[in-house]
Structure 1
């Protein structure tokens, strides 16, 4: 019975250590490419990069909430100083009672 308990303890302690070991695969998964396949891949990559250069740069908006609004943002109101200079000044009329 003690032997079974010791084996169980060792199995529990070895689990995390086994999980930390790197996965090394010494076998090659697929055969290497032939020179024709390498040339075709290089040509395909060249065409892809040329196509990417033809795409124009999109001007992105700096407004992260732009899609949430239903109407465009409002412009700032003009200064109030122009409105106060054109309005006539009102003066009090009458006498003060002492």
Structure 2
């Protein structure tokens, strides 16, 4: 009886691992193939769709009625790091170092 239980446990553990190794074959077709009439109808529908897209006018630049009322964006102050590097550095004795 113990041997039967061990065999069952081994089969349950090995089953998923064996399934991962098997090749993946799709036995179902993607779908029934279309008839010539259906293909022609799809082509006509696609052509009509593309023609409709060509009729749509290009988008114009947005008209902002308040655009003239806005002030210019604030100017950014000069970076402080550039001003600090141009000054001569002093040593402990108080003399300028080059």
Higher relative contact order (CA 8 A, sep 6+): 2
The verdict on a shared fold, with TM-score over 0.5 as the criterion, is: no
Choose between structure 1 and 2: higher strand proportion. Answer: 2
TM-score (norm 2): 0.44
